[in-house]
Structure 1
Amino acid sequence: MCGFLAIFTLFKHQKPLSLNGLVFLLGFAWMGWFSVQNLNTHVDEIYLNQSILVTGVIADLPEASTDKTKFIFYANSPFKSRLKLSWYGKNRPALQTGDAWQLQLKLKRNNGYQNLGGFDYEQWLFYKQMGATGYVRSSKSNQLIQVNQTNSMDQFRQDLRYSLQPFLQALDFGGVVNALIIGDRSFVKESHWELFKDTNTTHLSVISGLHIGLISGFVFLLVQFLWRRCQRCCHQIPAQVLAAYFGLLSAFLYALIAGFSIPTGRAFIMAGVVFVSLILRRHHNVWQLYGLALILVLANNPLSIFSVGFWLSFYVVGVIIYGVKQHQDKSWMFRLLYIQLLISVATLPLIAWFFASGSLLSPIANLVAIPVFSFIVTPLSLIGAILVLIGLSYPAELSFAVADQALAGLSYFLGLLQQFEFNQWHYTQTQTLDLILFVLAVFITLTPKGLKLRLLSVPILALMLLVPNEKIAQNTALITILDVGQGISHVVQTQNHTLLFDTGARYPSGFNLGGSVINPFLKAKQVNVLDKVIVSHADNDHIGGLTDVLQAIKVKEILTSTPNKITRQSSLCYAGQQW
């Protein structure tokens, strides 16, 4: 209230400053109200950690695997909330979007593990507006109440997924093609995820702003080209205006088919701002449109600030806006290559900060992967989907096969890059100032040569990188107790050695704390070798994560009370052993 009074007082004398302050306070208030409403949808404590009968409707597309089905459930009785659920068992029913069910559930509050380098699952659930997580218990009370009879977009997406399965299930990269068409990532193979992750090309393998911008931009240019063939038509409606309508429509339809998820909705808003400005024939500065898109995205969902994709997408668009204005006297091929390399280099700071690791060869990987996805895989995948819808099976099969072969060739190239030991580098998050300095150094390095500012990046990088990290003194140890929920896992570091005591649990769902907590922590700490791993005993919450640790980290010696439970060579530990 004091802020609004101060702005009202200053309005007559400092109008621009007052308006900016007003927008800031309104945004702050909107974020607070939105967050409170989100928190109010969380399930009350009285319903948690016990068996409870809940009725509701299945939302979005259920993700079925061999041992479970993951799905979003809109509960409407005895409470109203959005739940993230899993249904285990071989005899579980095939779930359909929009169906109303009565389910016997066991729910728990949203929580995650808080460790350096780890994924903040609790924040992700808050961002996704989930009221609780849980699973379906085996019970005769689990009953289908009503089959979905409405013609919703989710129903169309599900029908399309079923129609695509016969064409894609035999293809090695069928899961990637499916993800590019309807935004469903449940069929992408784990090995393909790892390949894309290790080469920083994950953003290309699912529907993103790049794909929506590419398709809508292509439609815009095609309609504009065709309309200009008719001079009389252009006198009635300018080609650019008509093309903008079609570009906006194509962006909307593609985002709709992708389920209008938060990333695709964000991409549609960004593309929509540009097309609407063309339709209204307003000649705004490109940075004004950029700012308007940013405000609209945050107004639509202020929780977007918790999404890595939000920061990366607007950051990349800003880099592109800067890049297209450089080297305008060069050929289009040179400028295209320059922008691709600019994006790859400029995003290194954010990727390092958010993911605590990155690929040094990502500029080369993206230089090849972006054209392959943009001009071959994505267009052919969408063309194949259209052919399936109109009943032309053979051309659709051919289109999907070419897309799959293009991905196979690309994966071979990315695999070669993945094999280089120096490709993966790890970064230890310290403080936000380091990120700011990193971004500043990169941008100064990329400034035009005529400004003569590039040498300033050297002292900035030195300030960030050459400041010595805190060293462990001789005859002392640093003990980190990792957050692994039930069970324990401790990392003991001395001046020259590292020991891991216990590895947390592994769950039937496949989730394990070795891969999700311990390995990210060790990589963030730049620990590549464990001198000793001690497994106290063979209970799951102490030994469950060991397999993933052994796969990712070199281990010199394993000590345990149960050597017969460990596949790798290990020794029996005994009282009095010292390090």
Structure 2
Amino acid sequence: MEKRVAQQPRPWLLPALLLGAVVGSALQLQQPALWRAGTYGGVLVAAIAMALGALTATRMRARANAWMSFAPLAIAFAAGGLALFALGGLRSADYLGDALAPQLEGRDIRVTGMVAAMPQSNEAGTRLRLDVESALLQGAPVQLPPRIEVAWYGGAFRDAAGVADLQRPPPALRAGERWDLTVRLKAPHGLRNPHGFDLMSISGLHITLFAWLAALAVRALWRRSTRLCLRAPAQSVALAAGVLLAAGYALFSGWGVPAQRTVIMLAAIALLQLSGRRWPWPQVWLLACAAVVVADPWALAQAGFWLSFVAVGVLFATNSIAGGAHGSSGGGHFRSLLREQWVVTLALTPLGVLLFGQVSLVGFAANLVAIPWVTLVVTLLALGGVLWAPLWSLAALALQPLAALLQWLAQWPWAVVFLPVAPLWAGVAAVAGGALLATRLPWRLRLLALPLLWPLLAWQPARPAAGQFELLAADIGQGNAVLVRTATHTLLYDAGPRFSRESDAGHRVLVPLLRALGERVDVLMLSHRDIDHTGGAAAVLAQQPQAELTGSIEADHALQALRPVKPCLQGQRW
């Protein structure tokens, strides 16, 4: 009698589905224009059909050829990709429907709304998020996005024409208050931060620590009851409670994007453990990554997503703590911390160059101090403040020496090195090289990472040929900013407007552009004094100390204090 053995589903079927979901979401983000909702719906139906086909294929005996054994994996990968491609497109179309209409930009609109989060105040004014309830333009109702960001400035500010406007300082604002305001809105634009760099990376760490402490407390309390332990294991209850309490804590603290990402990852890994499955680390890492992408497809466009997951993946792959490689003594823990930070630095440095065009040479030392200090001192004091309020004051005091140290490190010469932005292939190769360099392989194999790193670190954008020039008009809105490049020289004609008390075209556009191109400006020429032509000049001059400043600027202009302005005279040549 023939004995039939039931075939089990392939263990890599779900990872293939998850990997396809991440790839499909990434491809959707590259679409130059959105399709119609019906088209995305059709793609989603096809994805569901393919997923069912993959499940069916796993139950068939693949006797025909070897290709059939990989067919379910390919179908699952395609199904996951098409599903997230369609869902991302549908969600993007839905969000696009709430976008600010172009004809409403810069208009005086009367808005009634509720302060949705804790306002943030500084010397320039207050920033707040407002949930819009109604909006009027010249007495007629208009449609605005459901939530807007409002900057309320106070004091003197010069507009684009240079006219000083004395603005009333904003009052004290609180979350939950309802306000009636006249605002001028503009659509948001994606911008790179040109003057900041990460000295320490602790995104979501305090939420993870809160989940761990909550789980310990719940497990200790649960074990005190025999009846409760008979109903459910203390370890499982503590795991679920830790995630739920961490989610509540993240919601209470504002539910920011890093907090959301952390809670989703914790929930995915907790569900995997509660199911009794034990996956290899690449599958666990992929599960957490896919869970975040399913909840927020636009996370793939955020630098924090890639920094977090590359760091976690490299730590998974090079884990030496689990094996007790450094011992359990104090010195062993310090060596483990030292090696972990060194591994993360090696892996993330190429990624930082790819994403930001910069390398922090003091980041390793800063992280080595900041991460344990914030984790073991500041965060624990802040959490303890929920039970005893004076601990919050101690947490604030504990941050002061750390802030002083970070500021001191940031002032070092060459604390940050800026590099030209290389093409994507060079960045991907360098990230792979950084990961290879961080592994525990023999050094003769790890040295193979150096050729992978070289194209990114040594990249130089092409310049015009001798006798030719290149003219680039920067998109700075109102005003003017034109970059002229020759084979050996660079001139910047005008520096764009000042947008507000806190931002201008120099910080937001021109400085990142010059760094991305690796440019050394020889001459900054200002056509006239209007703020929409000179608003970004101070930022450009600070980033380009060798640049000569020339133009029609009066002797008492504020820029004269930064650098002497040479007047434009007949007969001058450049």
Bin of the TM-score, shorter chain as denominator length: 0.7 to 0.9
When normalised by structure 2's length, the TM-score is 0.76
- Partner in structure 1 of residue 93 of structure 2: 36
Distance 1:515 1:530 in 2: 15
Does 1:274 pair with 2:275? no
Distance 1:442 1:257 in 2: 38
Distance 1:450 1:465 in 2: 24
- 1:486 shift after superposition: 1.0
Distance 1:54 1:416 in 2: 44
Does 1:263 pair with 2:244? no
Counterpart code for 2:526 = V
> In the TM superposition, what are the counterparts of 1:96-245 in structure 2 within 5 Å?
96-111=174-189, 118=192, 197-198=196-197, 200-201=199-200, 203-204=201-202, 208-221=203-216, 224=219, 237-245=232-240
Does 1:84 pair with 2:143? no
Distance 1:493 1:101 in 2: 50
| SS of residue in 1 equivalent to 2:343 | helix
When normalised by structure 1's length, the TM-score is 0.75
- 1:539 shift after superposition: 0.5
- Partner in structure 2 of residue 576 of structure 1: 571
Counterpart code for 2:508 = S
| SS of residue in 2 equivalent to 1:500 | strand
Counterpart code for 2:73 = P
Shift of the 232–91 alpha-carbon distance from structure 1 to 2, 3 Å rule, reads: closer
> In the TM superposition, what are the counterparts of 1:12-27 in structure 2 within 5 Å?
12=57, 14-27=71-84
Shift of the 303–317 alpha-carbon distance from structure 1 to 2, 3 Å rule, reads: same
Counterpart code for 1:90 = R
Counterpart code for 1:23 = G
Distance 1:43 1:268 in 2: 30
- Partner in structure 2 of residue 338 of structure 1: 339
Counterpart code for 2:495 = T
- Partner in structure 1 of residue 524 of structure 2: 533
Identify which of 483, 486, 507 aligns with 1:491: 483
> In the TM superposition, what are the counterparts of 1:403-414 in structure 2 within 5 Å?
403-414=395-406
Shift of the 228–535 alpha-carbon distance from structure 1 to 2, 3 Å rule, reads: same
- 1:372 shift after superposition: 0.8
Does 1:560 pair with 2:551? yes
- 1:307 shift after superposition: 1.9
Does the Cα contact within 8 Å between 1:437 and 1:461 map onto a contact in 2?
A: yes
Identify which of 222, 243, 250 aligns with 2:245: 250
Does 1:424 pair with 2:502? no
| SS of residue in 2 equivalent to 1:449 | coil
- 1:380 shift after superposition: 1.1
| SS of residue in 2 equivalent to 1:554 | coil
Does the Cα contact within 8 Å between 2:496 and 2:534 map onto a contact in 1?
A: yes
- Partner in structure 2 of residue 123 of structure 1: none
Distance 1:559 1:515 in 2: 20
- Partner in structure 2 of residue 544 of structure 1: 535
Deviations 1:513-569 (A, max 9, x none): 122222222222334x54322211101011122222233320353212124123232
- Partner in structure 2 of residue 186 of structure 1: none
- 1:227 shift after superposition: 6.5
Counterpart code for 1:533 = L
Does the Cα contact within 8 Å between 1:500 and 1:534 map onto a contact in 2?
A: yes
More deviation, 352-361/50-59:
50-59
Distance 1:350 1:59 in 2: 34
- 1:498 shift after superposition: 3.0
Distance 2:314 2:350 in 1: 13
- Partner in structure 1 of residue 462 of structure 2: 470
Q: How many residue pairs align between the two structures? A: 486
More deviation, 4-13/440-449:
4-13
| SS of residue in 2 equivalent to 1:574 | coil
Deviations 1:376-428 (A, max 9, x none): 1111122234322xxxxxxx0xx345434433332343344323323211122
- Over the residues paired in the alignment, what is the CA RMSD in angstroms? 3.1
Give the greater-gyration-radius structure (CA): 2
Deviations 1:486-515 (A, max 9, x none): 111223333443332211122343211122
- 1:264 shift after superposition: 0.6
Shift of the 450–66 alpha-carbon distance from structure 1 to 2, 3 Å rule, reads: closer
Shift of the 476–545 alpha-carbon distance from structure 1 to 2, 3 Å rule, reads: same
Identify which of 304, 309, 312 aligns with 1:314: 309
- 1:221 shift after superposition: 4.3
More deviation, 60-69/300-309:
60-69
Shift of the 554–272 alpha-carbon distance from structure 1 to 2, 3 Å rule, reads: same
Distance 2:293 2:441 in 1: 36
Shift of the 455–231 alpha-carbon distance from structure 1 to 2, 3 Å rule, reads: farther
Identical amino acids, percent of aligned pairs: 30
| SS of residue in 2 equivalent to 1:84 | strand
Task: Structure 1: state its 5+ residue gaps.
Answer: 121-193, 389-395
Deviations 1:172-196 (A, max 9, x none): xxxxxxxxxxxxxxxxxxxxxx7xx
Counterpart code for 1:244 = L
Does the Cα contact within 8 Å between 1:245 and 1:275 map onto a contact in 2?
A: yes
